[in-house]
Each structure stands twice: as structure tokens, then as C-alpha cells.
Amino acid sequence: MPKRILIVDDDSNIRRLVALALTDDTPYEVSDVSSAEAALLHISRHPVDLYIHRSAHAGDEWDRVDPAGAPARSGHSGGGVYD
């Protein structure tokens, strides 16, 4: 089974670029969404092995919601890995 990656970014061009980089001749199954809320819904229906997100501003939606269930962090970029 391929590893599943979720890209979360409000910029559709960024999502498309990252998805292309991750799917070009790789075994990954890549999906993308535009918000933390959409990420939570996606993950609840389709578990992922890794999510990647870009947080542009402190105080944005990632301060309130972390799909991995970890304590919220302010103004960071990153992602999470699920076992």
C-alpha cells in the first residue's frame, strides 16, 4: 500500500507544485486541501501517513487545530507523521 501524504495550504499553486514534486515517479499517494478544517475532515475519512502544511501567520487556524492532536504551536510551518 502506498504511503499517503496530505498537503494543506491555502494557495492552490503551492499545493499543485508540492503535489507534483511528491508524485513524480514516487510511490506516494498525495492529496491536498486548503484549510485546517478541511484537513481534519480529510484525515477522519482517509488516514494519512504524513501531512505537510504552511502556516503564514501567527494566530491562524493552525493555532487552534492540529491534526496530530499535539498542543498548538504559533506561527510555524511543518507537518506531522502518523505511525
Per-domain boundaries in the chain: 4-81
Contact at 8 Å (CB) between 36 and 61? yes
Give the other-Cβ count within 10 Å of 60's Cβ. 15
Contact at 8 Å (CB) between 31 and 7? yes
Angle made by CA atoms 53, 59, 62, in degrees to the nearest 5: 30
Question: What rounded mean pLDDT belongs to the chain?
Answer: 77
Give the model confidence (pLDDT) of 19-59 as tens digits: 999 988 889 999 999 998 899 999 999 999 998 987 655 55
Give the model confidence (pLDDT) of 25-34 as tens digits: 889 999 999 9
Give the model confidence (pLDDT) of 63-75 as tens digits: 555 555 544 443 3
